[in-house]
């Protein structure tokens, strides 16, 4: 069984590649630069230069592979890298090449809350990408996790910057919206539960393949935590004690046009000011949760709590 991994040098991808390398898997990584190719080669894997947003660069890259692992995604649009281009067009390009290469199975990393009817472009385009995967005719697994946290995750990195910034920690809105953080190594464990040798899921689930073998999994950690609780537990892990100050969302949005200026001023004083888009701020106002026992029911183990996970990757 040979994996083709797109997004292997991203946050989740690095953790997955580390495990696959230790366990002796056969992997080819799609990377955009020679520098990232070196990371994959160091892990003992093949590296192919290409970009899912460039269909020509994918030609013959998937040949002789069995399973496509699609981890590519963005949480913020920058320049030409829009949600539509990366999530939708990129997925379509990858699936088209997967069909040509006779790929046996597709894994796609989506997100809890994805819906074609969502007002959020992030969730809407994730759902549109899911549809491309589901209608490909190739058996698939789709993961819809809640907030995935661990060393190098963007959410925690921004939150750490915010916590360190001043005499108090600003909270957009009430901070009462709930999330379900899952430690990245538990995410990897979920993946490995489904994709361990000697059989890939179509065979492991009865030998029929096709739709019988395809699944969508919604899951998260063992707790529903409010944004306030997440911030407080992170501060505890960092050894910081500051008051939380709740700010009206409308007031924060008014400051967005000046965020670039604020960041420039912050750099003059050696302070890194975290950036957030209007959509990201809005998403903080909505719950992003599923059943607390989702991992136990689907994958047969109990994941770490948020506090337990923080102890493993946060330094005071």
Torsion sign, CA atoms 28, 31, 33, 36: negative
Give 224 or 257, the one with higher predicted confidence: 224
Is the model's pTM score more than 0.85? Answer: yes
For residue 232, say if its preceding peptide bond is cis, omega within 30 degrees of 0: no
- Do 309 and 171 fall within a single domain? yes
- Do 54 and 104 fall within a single domain? yes
184-194 vs 11-22: helix crossing angle, rounded to 10: 50
- Do 69 and 159 fall within a single domain? no
- Do 67 and 43 fall within a single domain? yes
Q: Domain tally for the chain?
A: 2
* pLDDT single digits (tens) 9-33: 999 999 999 999 999 999 999 999 9
Q: What CATH code is carried by the domain that includes residue 235?
A: 3.90.25
- Do 34 and 113 fall within a single domain? yes
Q: What CATH code is carried by the domain that includes residue 96?
A: 3.40.50.720
* pLDDT single digits (tens) 278-296: 888 888 899 999 999 999 9
Angle at 245 between CA 243 and CA 249, to 5 degrees: 155
Cα–Cα dist 191/54, whole Å: 27
Averaged pLDDT of the chain: 89
Cα–Cα dist 128/139, whole Å: 17
Using DSSP's 3-state secondary structure scheme, residue 63 falls into coil
**Within-domain flag for 264:** yes
Residue 207 pLDDT more than 80?
no
Identify the domain containing residue 49 by its residue range.
2-138
Cα–Cα dist 289/281, whole Å: 17
Q: Quick check: 265 and 255 in contact, CB under 8 A?
A: no
Share of the chain above pLDDT 90, in %: 76
**Within-domain flag for 211:** no
**Within-domain flag for 165:** yes
DSSP 208-267: --GGGG-EEEEE--S--EEHHHHHHHHHHHHT----EEEE-HHHHHHHGGGHHHHHHHHH
């Amino acid at each position: 069984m040979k994996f083709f991994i797109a997004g292997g040098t991203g946050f989740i991808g690095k953790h997955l590649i580390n495990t696959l390398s230790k366990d002796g898997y056969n992997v080819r990584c799609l990377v955009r630069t020679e520098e990232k190719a070196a990371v994959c080669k160091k892990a003992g894997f093949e590296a192919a230069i290409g970009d899912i947003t460039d269909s020509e660069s994918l030609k013959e890259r998937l040949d002789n592979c069995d399973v496509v692992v699609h981890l590519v995604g963005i949480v913020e649009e920058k320049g030409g890298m829009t949600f539509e281009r990366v999530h939708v067009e990129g997925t379509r390009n990858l699936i088209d090449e997967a069909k040509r290469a006779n790929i046996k199975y597709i894994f796609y990393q989506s997100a809890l809350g994805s819906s074609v009817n969502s007002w959020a472009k992030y969730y809407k385009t994730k759902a549109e990408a899911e549809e491309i995967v589901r209608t490909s005719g190739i058996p698939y697994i789709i993961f819809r996790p809640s907030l995935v946290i661990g060393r190098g995750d963007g959410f925690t990195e921004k939150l750490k910057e915010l916590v360190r910034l001043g005499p108090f920690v600003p909270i957009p809105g009430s901070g009462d919206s709930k999330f379900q953080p899952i430690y990245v190594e538990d995410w990897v464990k979920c993946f490995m539960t489904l994709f361990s040798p000697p059989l890939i899921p179509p065979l492991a689930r009865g030998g029929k393949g096709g739709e019988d073998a395809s699944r969508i999994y919604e899951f998260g950690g063992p707790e529903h935590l409010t944004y306030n609780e997440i911030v407080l537990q992170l501060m505890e892990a960092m050894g910081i004690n500051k008051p939380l100050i709740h700010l009206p969302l409308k007031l924060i949005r008014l400051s967005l046009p000046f965020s670039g200026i604020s960041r420039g001023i912050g750099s003059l004083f050696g302070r890194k000011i975290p950036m957030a888009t209007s959509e990201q701020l809005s998403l903080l106002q909505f719950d992003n949760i599923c059943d607390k026992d989702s991992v136990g029911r689907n994958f047969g183990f109990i994941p770490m709590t948020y506090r337990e996970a923080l102890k493993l990757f946060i330094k005071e």
